[in-house]
Amino acid sequence: MNNDALEIAKQGIEQYKPALEELSKGDKSFYRFFAIDYFATGEGRSFWLMICRNYQSYDDVDREKEKFAKFVNCDYYMQGFEELTEREFLDKYTRFVPYFVAGMMQEKNQPMFTWQTHLHFNYS
């Protein structure tokens, strides 16, 4: 094996070592679960929901939360933002998660998996 290739491999291992150690802990959830449940008199009720992979940030920027905020597209509603555990999310919102998406969650093999939905119920 070429010494240059071996040196590059060693550098790569060192570069990604923190991320690999984090993944090996096993206590980190595979997915992240975001929700906003908004209701107001005369406005009905709105839900914004997102399930996404739980990737480690390499620069302290929460890109998944930013993606959710862009999806919601209104800072006012972000005041009701919650990040839930899988159990909390499923207890509250299972009825809104399509069967197909639930199946994908079980497989845990979709790189870049993201599911988002916005539901609005008008009472008038």
Give the tokens for residue 82: 């919650």
* pTM given for the model: 0.75
Q: How much is the pLDDT for 22?
A: 55
Angle at the Cα of 66 from the Cα atoms of 60 and 67, rounded to 5 degrees: 130
CA-to-CA dists, residue 112 to 61, 79, 83, angstroms: 17, 26, 18
Let me know if 50 is exposed, middle or buried by CB neighbors in 10 A (0-12, 13-18, 19+): buried
Degrees to nearest 5, angle at CA 101 with 54 and 62: 25
Is the Cα dihedral 9, 12, 18, 20 positive or negative?
negative
Q: What is the mean pLDDT of the chain?
A: 86
How does pLDDT run across 17-53, given as a tens digit for each residue?
665 555 555 567 899 999 999 998 788 999 999 999 9
Q: Beta partners for 116? A: 50
